[in-house]
Amino acid sequence: MEINFILNNEDKCIEVDPMFPVLRLLRETMGISSVKTGCGEGECGACTVILGTPENGIIRYKNVATCIMPAGKLNGKHLVTVEGINGDKLSPVQKTLVDEGAVQCGFCTPGFVMSLTGFFLGGEKLSYKNILNAIDGNICRCTGYFPIKRTAKKLLESVSEYPDTEERIKKLVELSFIPRYFLTIRDRLVELKEKILTDKSIKNEINEKMIFVGGGTDLLVEKSGRTGADYTRFISNMAGNINLISKKDEFIRIGAGVSVTDIKDSEVIREHIPGIENFMEQVSSGIIRNMATLGGNIVNASPIGDLSVLFLALDSSLVLSKDGVTREIKLKDFFRGYKVLDLKDGELIEFLKFPSYDNNVYINFEKVSKRNYLDIAACNSAILIRNENRKIKKCMISAGGVSPVPLYLQKSSEFITGKEITIENLKELSKITLTEISPISDVRGSAEYKKELLNRLILSHFILLFPDLVNEGDLI
């Protein structure tokens, strides 16, 4: 596949397998040695770069992990590495890291430099919480993090808020966070777009050896870039509902190509899923969330998929399409067995939809993993409750990690619907839940541990959502 992109300040046009990892492309064929090879699975941040994507006349910059990023996704974008942010002297981010003693062996440092620089470029609201979120995918094994946190604080104090993208880029150039050539990138990407061979060129060549790729983050871990497909079609390049979040006919629609970050930041979703920001922050880390898509997470069919579990509790459906024909299926019926889906060859998830719930519903998502971030859950669970005068009018509960598929807990949901929220009913609910699950012992815990864990997670939904009605002590 021919890809055209801008690497730092240089226009590039190369022929490459679209599923080849960007990290290897940079290090092995482009001589960019600042991106480091660490875990190779998106878990350490040593390979972090900044990726600029043209969107509605502006460039949106985000930090991404290159070890799990397919080369085909570079098409039409601006890729920034450490080589592209310093001229003849250190940038303020680099200098502050050095001044604060945040650099020891230096292996993680380029990743931190990119994540911190990308935070300012990305235009996220300037706050200590947000800047720490921006480095939640970067691991340092030397410094103990305090010098890095001091760096983050100092940098925050040196920059003011610029919501306007062009103004922000100008200001960051003035402050020497980025070089002057950044001011030319928008126009250069517009020119590049005309050159790019879009997916339209292969639109009519769909065959069973073609694969649709969302973020590609999991695929690159699983298959190391060897998919065996004749064609790869990146759904982020496709037009229509597949890349949109919208509200239509009392349903919220989220396109399969929408990233986890875009779900987290969407005003529409925030209005209908209170707490979505916190739920999504539990999904991997920023450098993965910026690439990973809703469709990818669902089609991966992991029994512990965070998005699958959340949307199961929201009574979601999927709209699938093939050759212009669409069909709709409940998400709970989509998972047929371990990694087995109700999805035909060549069929594509277009979007997920769920009812646009009003303010009277309570929604919660809980996840337990060995680490807070960057980890696969041992067990996760979501709940939606409509409660009126202590009585549950509607309740839907889901769970992950306790069966071969992400599970909608049908019996548990039915049992608690129509009941009052009392300690007795919750204890009974725990017994019913146990009859619906079949966890296995694995590296994330024994079957017994997972049973207990899910029980606690379901109770914690009620403790968190109804602190006036449920006292933690009464449940133990």
Residues at the site binding ligand FES, with contacts judged by CB under 6 A:
37-40, 42-47, 65, 67, 103-109, 140-143
Complex with ligand FES: residue 65 or 185, whichever CB lies closer: 65
- Measured CA to CA, the distance from residue 307 to residue 206 in angstroms comes to 28
Give least dist CB 100 to ligand FES, A.
Answer: 12
Give least dist CB 108 to ligand FES, A.
Answer: 3
Give the angle subtended at the CA of 468 by the CAs of 476 and 437, to the nearest 5°.
45
**How many of the other CB atoms lie within 10 Å of CB of 287?**
34
Which residues does 236 contact at the CB level (< 8 Å), separation at least 6?
A: 73, 214, 243, 257, 293
Complex with ligand FES: residue 141 or 390, whichever CB lies closer: 141
Complex with ligand FES: residue 110 or 439, whichever CB lies closer: 110
Complex with ligand FES: residue 136 or 350, whichever CB lies closer: 136
Give least dist CB 223 to ligand FES, A.
Answer: 16
- Measured CA to CA, the distance from residue 29 to residue 25 in angstroms comes to 5
Give least dist CB 48 to ligand FES, A.
Answer: 7
Give least dist CB 226 to ligand FES, A.
Answer: 18
Complex with ligand FES: residue 143 or 317, whichever CB lies closer: 143
Give least dist CB 466 to ligand FES, A.
Answer: 40
From the list 231, 237, 244, 192, the residue with the least C-alpha distance to 215 is 237
Complex with ligand FES: residue 81 or 308, whichever CB lies closer: 81
Give least dist CB 297 to ligand FES, A.
Answer: 18
Give least dist CB 397 to ligand FES, A.
Answer: 34
Give least dist CB 34 to ligand FES, A.
Answer: 13
Give least dist CB 77 to ligand FES, A.
Answer: 18
Which residues does 355 contact at the CB level (< 8 Å), separation at least 6?
A: 250, 251, 252, 314, 315
Q: Amino acid identity of 80?
A: V
Give least dist CB 114 to ligand FES, A.
Answer: 12
Give least dist CB 288 to ligand FES, A.
Answer: 8
Give the angle subtended at the CA of 123 by the CAs of 121 and 126, to the nearest 5°.
110
Complex with ligand FES: residue 104 or 425, whichever CB lies closer: 104
- Measured CA to CA, the distance from residue 357 to residue 353 in angstroms comes to 12
Which residues does 114 contact at the CB level (< 8 Å), separation at least 6?
A: 48, 49, 50, 63, 80, 81, 82, 85
Give least dist CB 47 to ligand FES, A.
Answer: 4
- Looking up tokens 């920023």 gives 286
- Measured CA to CA, the distance from residue 76 to residue 310 in angstroms comes to 33
Complex with ligand FES: residue 38 or 92, whichever CB lies closer: 38
- Measured CA to CA, the distance from residue 347 to residue 223 in angstroms comes to 21
Complex with ligand FES: residue 117 or 237, whichever CB lies closer: 117
- Measured CA to CA, the distance from residue 240 to residue 199 in angstroms comes to 14
Complex with ligand FES: residue 42 or 406, whichever CB lies closer: 42
Complex with ligand FES: residue 252 or 260, whichever CB lies closer: 260
- Measured CA to CA, the distance from residue 267 to residue 272 in angstroms comes to 9
Complex with ligand FES: residue 103 or 169, whichever CB lies closer: 103
Complex with ligand FES: residue 64 or 252, whichever CB lies closer: 64
- Measured CA to CA, the distance from residue 91 to residue 132 in angstroms comes to 19
